[in-house]
Amino acid sequence: MADTRQFSVQVEVLLRDGIADPQGATIERALPALGLGGVTAVRAGKSFRFDLAATDESDALAQASVVADRLLANPVIEESQVTVRPAGSAA
């Protein structure tokens, strides 16, 4: 078996453009109460972190993308962004 290394993965899931984001809109409407009326384009999403073993960074990215596309995001309404870095390195 090929040597593997540990990678840290971050997956960010947001609703696709054009899909109503009532959560983001509600947060945005609450912000003027903080005196921050200039905050716009608020979007609410989810963030996931996990570690995985992979032979190299592109293998790690490929595996993490499967997790993101097949489980963490519903491609009908959401899009995901995957970031991979060697475990232990600075985020």
Binding stretches for other proteins (CB under 8 A): 15, 19-20, 22-23, 26, 71-72, 74, 76-77
d(CA 27, CA 76): 23
Nearer to other proteins, 70 or 89 (CB): 70
Closest separation in Å from C-beta 47 to other proteins: 13
Nearer to other proteins, 22 or 88 (CB): 22
Closest separation in Å from C-beta 64 to other proteins: 16
Nearer to other proteins, 2 or 20 (CB): 20
Closest separation in Å from C-beta 23 to other proteins: 7
**Residue 28 class from Cβ within 10 Å (0-12 exposed, 13-18 middle, 19+ buried)?**
middle
- Residue whose token pair is 């995985």: 52
Whether the CB-CB separation of 40 and 28 falls below 8 Å is answered with: yes
